[in-house]
Amino acid sequence: MEPPAEYEGHTDEELVRGLVLGDARSLEQISVRHARPAYSLALRMLGDPGWAEEVVQDVLLRLWRKPELFDPARGDLRKWLLTMTHHAAVDGLRGRRGTARSFDAGPDALDLLPVQDDDPADSAWRSLQAESVRRALASLPREQREVLELAYYLGLSQAEISRRTGQPLGTVKTRTRLALSKLRDSLRQAGVDG
Binders in 163-192 for another protein, by CB under 8 A: 173, 176-177, 179-181, 183-184, 187, 192
Q: What is the DSSP letter of 140?
A: S
Query: Which H helix or E strand runs over 169?
Result: helix 169-189
Interface residue with another protein among 8, 130, 163, 168 (CB under 8 A) is: 130
Query: Which H helix or E strand runs over 84?
Result: helix 77-97
Nearer to another protein, 96 or 110 (CB): 110
Other Cβ atoms closer than 10 A to 61: 11
- Rounded to 5°, the CA angle 103-158-36 comes to 65
Binding mask 9-28 for another protein (x = CB under 8 A): xxx--x--xx-xxxxx--xx
DSSP 4-48: -GGGGGS-HHHHHHHHHTT-HHHHHHHHHHHHHHHHHHHHHHH--
Nearer to another protein, 133 or 143 (CB): 133
Nearer to another protein, 166 or 193 (CB): 193
What's the alpha-carbon Rg for the chain, to the nearest Å? 18
How many Å apart are CA 36 and CA 56, to the nearest integer?
9
Contact between 104 and 90 under an 8 Å Cβ cutoff? The reply is no
Interface residue with another protein among 12, 63, 86, 92 (CB under 8 A) is: 86
The answer to whether residue 88 forms part of the interface with another protein (CB under 8 A) is no
Interface residue with another protein among 96, 97, 134, 163 (CB under 8 A) is: 134
The answer to whether residue 151 forms part of the interface with another protein (CB under 8 A) is yes
How many Å apart are CA 186 and CA 141, to the nearest integer?
13
Number of residues that bind another protein (CB under 8 A): 80
What minimum distance in Å lies between the beta carbon of 165 and another protein? 14
Binders in 36-65 for another protein, by CB under 8 A: 36-37, 39-41, 43-44, 49, 53, 56-57, 60-61, 64-65
Interface residue with another protein among 5, 104, 119, 166 (CB under 8 A) is: 104
The answer to whether residue 107 forms part of the interface with another protein (CB under 8 A) is yes
What minimum distance in Å lies between the beta carbon of 60 and another protein? 6
